[in-house]
Chains A and B, each alone.
Chain A
């Protein structure tokens, strides 16, 4: 209960900050989209699996938004978000059928390969996708209202916060549900799961769909705030950033993704301010330190025991 109240307060605070300091709105939205994507990824972490390709679901979602916005000029932003999520979700149902048969490094690498195929094709099929320059998205109506830039961004922040709260709440409930607990049992003993009559593939598939859908939300929101989609949205480095965020924040609780994103953005901000040109260096160093100092702390909770 306290956590819900705290989150609501944070959301309201964010809106207040956004209304008084408009330049903070876009960074906040972008930061939240990273958190949402990491939240989606954390569902896979619960099963002890790390995907290095989940950014493809953000990418598919974002490009869907761009395509529809181009073909259906009157489409409302909320509709665009829904469309992006649905298309991405549908893709994940099919991709998931193959991918859930793999574990460990190969699960990570297969997702990576698929996302790189998408990334490569998006970059090369210039006439369809705008190539490496990507596609622009004209500012759509939001909930039926036509806003100017400032208002649009503010209300988009509101939408993003609402989506964040909803997804965090739902995922936390999912973690504690029967399906969610079965998913986390995959991490510790898949054989036992099968010998109880579960189909580990099916349980994993369900989790995969959930995780992809959540990542899809982040892609649609990012597309709408940037007004642009590029193939970079699906690059493996992007997926790796989501992984990084969950390492920082942990997958034990849905709040971990948000804490991790806050940490991630802070490190980026501080290092850009004090050590420009070294932010990746500092990020990399932080990652190493975090993994070493908490081998069975929140990091060990994510994967099979840190030290075997």
Chain B
């Protein structure tokens, strides 16, 4: 790989990492608060992407604006998050309280299977995309190389903003602080009067929105096809496992690690590209069995 490829690879990697981070942030948040590793989170990504592309395709012919399709992405993500996440939490997730983590995971796997078929029913097997967003936002030239504004600015910015918003929520709002309390010790938090049910609902919806946002932001640059959710869920598992379950800032670092490693490998060793996230995951887990940033456990005997 020549050195002038490096900036391109980096930007590519960062944009990819941003998407990965959005999705993983949602996944790890839900795990930290509710103890569920939600396999259906991949479906949220897919639904976010598909829905975003549908709406953009609908709106794009009726307007010249560059901002409107972009805003559509965000609105769709929020709508999908609230609807899908809200319904799923209400019908299913809250009933899993107290079950073994693996059983919770398997229950969400059942939900994932159900959503896969619904997705296929609604959107079929044709690839869906939302390129309009990218093309309307134009290109930027830096140092002789052209980047799309979307990849260079919009995507990473969205990820960072989402991260900062979430951190603000968790640290400076009452609801957020209560959420953190539940993460640290659920029983004690409930004992002092925190409404775990409400927090669970809000957290799950926020997590779903983040997952859907990842998909919505991916729609302009990738093609959504059946299996997109399946691929994304294992990737976000890798990010979350590397960072440590429940570690949000850790997920940022892990996503960057994977994103950049993967995009560099596209240039250096393309056959290994798809395997890179999992190779990193194996290496990290062998050295730090609970992820890079997990805290120690208490004694049990």
Assess whether B153 is interfacial by the CB under 8 Å rule: no
Closest B residue to A125 by beta carbon equals: B271
Interfacial chain B residues near A123, Cβ < 8 Å:
274
Closest B residue to A127 by beta carbon equals: B271
Convert A111-147 into 0s and 1s, putting 1 for each residue whose CB lies closer than 8 angstroms to a CB of B. 0111011001101110000000000000000000000
Within 8 A of B (CB), among A76-128: 98, 101-102, 104-106, 108-110, 112-114, 116-117, 120-121, 123-125
Interfacial chain A residues near B273, Cβ < 8 Å:
124
Assess whether B99 is interfacial by the CB under 8 Å rule: yes
**In contact, B113 and A117 (Cβ under 8 angstroms):** no
**In contact, A308 and B100 (Cβ under 8 angstroms):** yes
| Chain A interface helix/strand/loop/mixed | helix
B282's partner among A110, A125, A299, A307 (CB-CB below 8 A) is A110
**In contact, A284 and B112 (Cβ under 8 angstroms):** yes
Of B65-73, B156-164, B237-245, the stretch lying at the interface with chain A is B237-245
**In contact, B109 and A299 (Cβ under 8 angstroms):** no
Interchain nearest-CB distance for A199 vs B (Å): 17
**In contact, B101 and A105 (Cβ under 8 angstroms):** yes
**In contact, B114 and A280 (Cβ under 8 angstroms):** yes
Contacts A113-B238, A287-B106, A292-B95 given: A237-B230 contact, CB under 8 Å? yes
| Chain B interface helix/strand/loop/mixed | helix
Contacts A105-B245, A292-B95 given: A299-B103 contact, CB under 8 Å? yes
Of B76-84, B171-179, B284-292, the stretch lying at the interface with chain A is B284-292
Within 8 A of A (CB), among B178-201: none
Q: How far does the alpha carbon of A291 sit from the alpha carbon of B98 in the complex, in Å? A: 13
Q: How far does the alpha carbon of A278 sit from the alpha carbon of B116 in the complex, in Å? A: 9
Assess whether A306 is interfacial by the CB under 8 Å rule: yes
Closest B residue to A278 by beta carbon equals: B117
Contacts A/B (CB < 8 Å), 22 sampled? A98-B286, A105-B102, A106-B241, A108-B102, A116-B278, A117-B279, A121-B275, A123-B274, A124-B272, A124-B275, A191-B300, A277-B117, A277-B120, A281-B117, A283-B113, A284-B112, A284-B113, A287-B107, A295-B99, A306-B99, A306-B103, A308-B100
* Known contacts A106-B241, A123-B274, A284-B115; 15 further A-B pairs (Cβ under 8 A): A104-B102, A109-B285, A110-B241, A113-B241, A116-B275, A120-B274, A120-B278, A124-B271, A125-B271, A191-B300, A280-B117, A287-B110, A287-B113, A291-B110, A292-B107
Q: What residues make up the interface of B, taking CB atoms closer than 8 Å to A?
A: 37, 92, 95, 98-103, 105-107, 109-118, 120-121, 230, 234, 237-238, 241, 245, 270-275, 278-279, 281-282, 285-286, 289-290, 300-301
